[in-house]
Chains A and B, each alone.
Chain A
Amino acid sequence: MRSLFENNKVVVCTGSGGVGKTTISASLGVLAAQYGQRVLVLTIDPAKRLATALGIQGDANIVKVPGQNFKGELYAGRIDSVEIFNAFIREAAPSNDVVEKILKNKLYEQLSTTLSGSQEFTSLVKLYEEQKSNKYDLIILDTPPTQHAIDFLHSPEKIYALFQSSITKWFINNTQKGGSVWSRILHKGTQTVLSIFHRVTGSDFMDELSDFFFSLKDLQENITQTCQGTQELLKDKNTAFLLVTSFDRAKIQEASSYYGELVSGGYQLDSIIINRAFPKWVLEPKPEIFSSESLEAEYDRQNQYYTTREEMFDQFQKDFADRVNVVKLHELEEELSGLEGLKLVADLIETQVNNETTGGMK
């Protein structure tokens, strides 16, 4: 793990929702700080208990995590999507009038919905800004919960699509509302297409939309630059991806296809962390004494289940052995709370990584 931290400036933790990604990110931060690094963990919507542990329950500013006694230093920040997006627009817009106009547009509010990828975009903006500041040896980014791990990588494209010059060009030099804007497009020979769009959405919507895109045109250059900058950062040789996943057939198969997409996209996947893969008792031999027959039957049933999964895991690890590290973490039964809880997970990660005979963290 030490070399993962030392060889990279950015570690991006990806994975679908509910797999414990935020906890793993924070624990990796603890581990890096223990190694002596100045590390920042950026998280999205942490659970209350975790936010308290990191000291970020209040506003979205970056704080030095309270109560720490590490060789290095641990910082944490919460990503507030709406706030960052608004701030980004304030900064990128040429004048206050433009800012007002955008923020007042009725459709702009809808932009914060998740299908637009704005949460992912803002987390990348935040990462990009903090990385440029050069204040940290390492930044660990906890990505927003997506349905599939790969969704995160596609999100900047979605935002980028909003600002494509082809769309905004339609609206440049068209300060008048409604008919004139759209009739200008008509001259471009897309009458049929446009009349269909009109039939589907109506004049009111089209007017609002033209306002929306028109007010965004001044941001185009800035957004394009940021999108490019974040893409470069994600593909940088000092940026590593981790995939945090749960352990079932579908998720494991998904991990395989995710690996393929990352590699073909030019990103570096360092490790796959399988979280809460099995209970700790699986590592021990069958107990000699049970309190009841039913508990012994229960043991046999569960043990059978975990054995089957173990076979699946072995195959998976074999497939990936020379390409990426696969780390399997068992369930922790202690109630995880405070910084101490994160230390427990950090210890577990370190032990497991050292135990893996195949691969080993690079």
Chain B
Amino acid sequence: MVNVDCPLVFVTGKGGVGKSMWAASVASHLASRGKRVLLVEFGETSFFGYFFSQPINMNPRQIRPNLDVSIWSWASCLRDYIGHLVKIDKLADLFFENKVMRALIRGAPALKELAILGKATSGVRHYGPELDYDHIVFDCYATGHFLALMRAPVGMYEAIKFGPMGDQSLAIIKTLKDPKTTEYHLVTLLEELPVSETKELHASIDKELNSNIKVIVNKSLRYIRDNEFNDSTFEQSVCHNLQRQNNSWAQLQESLKIDLEVPYFFESDPNELIEKISKEMVK
């Protein structure tokens, strides 16, 4: 059973391990329990758009009861924030449509990351535009980009201690470090590279953010209980993959507590797959 205790859930892991699928499943699971949930992806091109076959943009779109999806770019986050601060839409537009100002913001280091994390934490901090949800699940970037994003407020605070930037950075850092408000989900496959990356990532999050970290193993074949295999290519392949996964499992378990093992469902329909993974969460 995986308990989601926090209003903010950041999902990360190595590229290609099934982060988006897990994030969607967590969101769906929470929504089915009557929580109002927002599933957020970052960037300009939507993955969930392909996934749910619906256009996804910055305005939350309801895809099932209690569950909204939205994509945040740094520009939309900043526009939101400026709009909230100046209250007058026309003024905010004037600011945002100013060409030089746009280029300046685009060029200014760490400002974009702060805009995203500022919005992500605004509900919890009661600061900035209201986001009326019980949980927000973030389908984050992969390992390296994720750490760079999370480190931006620290870097900014080290550079600028005072004034609004210093204050905001500090408040964001506090939220990300608070295990009562923010939890981190690390998704991994039972393969050599994802496992070693997960271990390192776990150590970094534990040290720099907080210890409320859940480790999810995806696409496990360890439900196969057979011990004897014949010479067919298929059974040899199963045997080989099982062996490899068992080795990776042992390596992972050596240093980390594994919170959930999701079996490989061999399911090509996205909605069915989300249903199946969500059910695993309550087992």
Most buried by A among B15, B92, B108, B237: B108
- Contact across chains for A115 and B144 when beta carbons are under 8 A apart: no
The reply to whether B100 and A166 form a contact with Cβ atoms under 8 Å apart is yes
Residues in B with CB closer than 8 Å to A69 are: none
A148 to chain B, nearest CB (A): 5
Q: Is the CB of A289 within 8 A of B240?
A: no
B15 contact from A19, A196, A203, Cβ within 8 A: A19
Contact B108 A209 (CB under 8 A): yes
A295 to B148 CA separation, bound complex (whole angstroms): 44
B107 near A167: Cβ-Cβ < 8 Å: yes
Smallest CB-CB separation from B105: which chain A residue?
Answer: A197
Q: Mark B72-96, 1 if CB is under 8 A from A, else 0.
A: 0010000001100110000110110
**How far, in angstroms, from A305 to B265 measured CA to CA in the complex?**
9
In chain A, what residue has the closest Cβ to B194?
A18
Contact at B158–A106, with CB atoms within 8 Å? yes
Cβ–Cβ contact A302 & B15, under 8 A: no
**Does the CB pair A196–B95 fall under 8 Å?**
yes
Q: A115-B74, A298-B238 are in contact. Are A204 and B152 (CB under 8 A)?
A: no
Residues of chain B at the chain A interface (Cβ within 8 Å)? 14-17, 20, 42-43, 45, 47, 50-51, 74, 81-82, 85-86, 91-92, 94-95, 98-101, 103-104, 106-113, 141-142, 144-145, 148-149, 151-152, 155-156, 158-166, 193, 224-226, 228-230, 232-235, 237-238, 240-241, 266-268, 270
Check B107–A249 contact: CB distance below 8 A: no
- Contact between A201 and B165, CB atoms less than 8 A apart: yes
Interface of A is mostly: helix
A selection of 26 A-B contacts at a CB cut-off of 8 Å is A45-B144, A106-B160, A107-B109, A113-B109, A113-B155, A114-B145, A145-B142, A147-B43, A162-B106, A167-B100, A193-B95, A200-B81, A200-B164, A202-B164, A202-B166, A205-B165, A209-B104, A249-B51, A250-B47, A250-B51, A281-B232, A287-B230, A287-B233, A294-B226, A298-B224, A333-B241
Nearest CB in chain B to that of A144: its residue = B144
Contact of A17 with B by CB under 8 A = yes
- The answer to whether A110 and B103 have CB atoms under 8 Å apart is no
Q: Which of A45, A115, A208 contacts B112 (CB 8 A)?
A: A115
The smallest C-beta distance from B48 to any residue of chain A, in angstroms, reads: 9
Closest B residue to A207 by beta carbon equals: B160
Task: Tally A-B pairs: CB < 8 A.
Answer: 208
> Is the pair B100, A111 in contact by a Cβ cutoff of 8 Å?
no
Check B106–A158 contact: CB distance below 8 A: yes
A291 proximal to B (CB < 8 A): yes
Count chain A residues whose beta carbon lies closer than 8 angstroms to a beta carbon of B: 74
Which partner residue on chain A sits nearest B116 by CB separation? A115
> What is the bound-complex CA distance between A161 and B159, given in angstroms?
22
Judging by beta carbons under 8 Å apart, are A145 and B15 in contact? yes
User: Does A111 lie within 8 Å of B109, measured CB to CB?
Assistant: yes
Q: Are B100's CB and A113's CB within 8 A?
A: no
Interface digits, A29-73 against B, CB 8 Å rule (1 contact, 0 not)? 000000000000000010100000000000000000000000000
- New A-B pairs, 15, CB < 8 Å, besides A45-B144, A202-B163: A17-B16, A106-B159, A110-B110, A111-B109, A113-B110, A114-B145, A114-B148, A115-B145, A145-B144, A197-B104, A253-B50, A284-B234, A290-B235, A298-B224, A305-B268
Which residue of the partner chain A has the closest CB to B110? A110
Are A204 and B268 within 8 A (Cβ)? no
Q: Does A280 count as interface, using CB distance less than 8 angstroms?
A: yes
Of listed B101, B107, B142, B144, residue having the most chain A CB within 10 A: B107
**Which of A109, A147, A287 is packed against the most chain B CB atoms within 10 Å?**
A147
